[in-house]
């Protein structure tokens, strides 16, 4: 397969920077020197490695995208922007027929799905792009479908810690909670405990200081009514490198589907990506 043109949106954000850093040296990709960004971002250029990216704000992007598409007729966007931009960005991609991989969490997820379904542009959308965590989610989901009510009567506590710049509750935690509800647990996503205080993260959670600015630690604890049985699931991720591989696999998956004319649905998930291996 020829190199895939990709546009990494969300610079100068940390996750987008990491994606750009790895993509620039990945022989599968040609990285476009442009990135959609927020209206409030003061910078006009973001430098990552050997590449300078023009930062394109919402007030000019409709015009700029036409110029970019004239130079690069086909590319896939990688979206790691901000939760508040999820739905607007999806509408932009669909209206301009830009296939995309959405790693950004938050936003109105039902509206997001509807936007893609109403258009003609395929996308990979997932609340988590880390393949191992997606596999964990799939295992819990399998149990939920095959053993409904297994934990009926059990109480659940969910604690998730992320860098204090993460504005929304973890989409992964919400998805896992949905499976536990199918397993018989009465738990509302609003009861997920969000930890964003670096002092608590370092002193009480023992999260390494160097990863306070970028981590994802989750603990799901199930306790029997009599207190004599306890089940606990954890996934603790330091840094953001784990998300790179899954995101790039999603891009490669989507590009292959499109190039081979095998697009059978509008929305794909990371489960689809894993199953394609």
- 162 among known catalytic residues: yes
- Out of 3.40.50.80, 3.40.50.720, 3.40.50.150, 2.30.30.790, the CATH code matching 4-125+241-275 is 3.40.50.720
Q: pLDDT value at position 194?
A: 96
Question: Which residues lie closer than 8 Å to 228 by C-beta, 6 or more apart?
Answer: none
Q: What digits encode the pLDDT tens for the residues 56-66?
A: 999 999 999 99
- 166 among known catalytic residues: yes
pLDDT band at 167 (very low <50, low <70, confident <90, very high): confident
CA 71-88-21 angle, to 5 degrees, is 55
CA distance 101 to 86: 12
Residue written as token pair 């499109």: 258
**Domain limits, CATH 3.30.360.10, in the chain:** 131-238
Q: With 70 as the cut, is the pLDDT of residue 108 above it? A: yes
Of 17, 82, 131, 166, the active-site residue reads 166
How far from 245 is each of 39, 225, 259, CA to CA, in Å? 29, 41, 21
Average pLDDT (211-234) is 97
**Residue 161, beta-bridge partner list:** 195, 217
Cβ atoms within 10 Å, residue 23? 23
Q: pLDDT value at position 54?
A: 98
Q: pLDDT value at position 166?
A: 87
> Among 108-112, 127-131, 249-253, where is mean pLDDT lowest?
127-131
Question: Which residues lie closer than 8 Å to 40 by C-beta, 6 or more apart?
Answer: none
Q: pLDDT value at position 60?
A: 97
Q: With 70 as the cut, is the pLDDT of residue 1 above it? A: no
Q: With 90 as the cut, is the pLDDT of residue 87 above it? A: yes
Region of 235 on the Ramachandran plot (φ > 0 left; ψ -120 to 50 alpha; else beta): beta
Q: pLDDT value at position 207?
A: 97
Cβ atoms within 10 Å, residue 33? 13
Average pLDDT (205-215) is 96
Q: With 90 as the cut, is the pLDDT of residue 267 above it? A: yes
Q: pLDDT value at position 2?
A: 85
Q: With 80 as the cut, is the pLDDT of residue 125 above it? A: yes
Strand runs labelled E in 163-273? 193-195, 215-223, 230-238, 267-268
The mean of the pLDDT values for the chain is: 95
Q: What digits encode the pLDDT tens for the residues 10-62?
A: 999 989 999 999 999 999 999 999 999 999 999 999 999 999 999 999 999 99
Of 82, 162, 174, 211, the active-site residue reads 162
Burial label for 155, CB within 10 Å (0-12, 13-18, 19+), is middle
**Under CATH, what is the fold of the domain 131-238?**
Dihydrodipicolinate Reductase; domain 2 (3.30.360)
Q: pLDDT value at position 140?
A: 96
Pair 54, 34: CB distance under 8 Å: yes
Average pLDDT (163-188) is 93
Q: pLDDT value at position 165?
A: 85
**Domain limits, CATH 3.40.50.720, in the chain:** 4-125+241-275
CA distance 89 to 178: 26
């Amino acid at each position: 397969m020829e190199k895939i043109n990709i546009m990494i949106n969300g610079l100068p954000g940390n996750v987008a920077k990491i994606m750009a850093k790895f993509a620039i040296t990945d022989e599968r990709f040609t990285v476009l020197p442009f990135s959609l960004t927020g209206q409030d971002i003061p910078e006009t250029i973001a430098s990552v490695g050997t590449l300078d990216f023009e930062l394109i704000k919402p007030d000019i992007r409709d015009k700029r995208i036409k110029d970019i598409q004239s130079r690069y007729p086909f590319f896939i966007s990688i979206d790691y922007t901000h939760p508040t931009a999820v739905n607007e960005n999806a509408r932009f991609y669909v209206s301009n027929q830009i296939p995309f991989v959405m790693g950004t969490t938050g936003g109105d997820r039902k509206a997001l799905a509807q936007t893609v379904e109403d258009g003609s542009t395929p996308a990979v959308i997932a609340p988590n792009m880390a393949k191992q965590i997606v596999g964990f989610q799939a295992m819990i989901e399998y149990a939920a479908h095959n053993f409904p009510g297994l934990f009926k009567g059990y109480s659940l506590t969910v604690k998730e810690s992320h860098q204090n710049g993460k504005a929304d509750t973890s989409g992964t935690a919400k998805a896992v909670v949905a499976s536990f509800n199918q397993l018989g647990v009465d738990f509302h996503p609003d009861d997920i405990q969000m930890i964003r205080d670096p002092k608590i993260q370092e002193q009480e959670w023992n999260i390494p200081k160097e990863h306070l600015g970028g981590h994802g630690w989750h603990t799901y604890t199930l306790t029997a009514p009599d207190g004599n049985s306890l089940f606990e699931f954890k996934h603790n991720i330091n840094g953001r490198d784990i998300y790179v591989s899954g995101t790039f696999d999603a891009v490669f998956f989507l590009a292959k589907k499109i190039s081979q004319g095998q697009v059978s649905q509008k929305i794909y998930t990371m489960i689809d990506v894993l199953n394609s291996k």
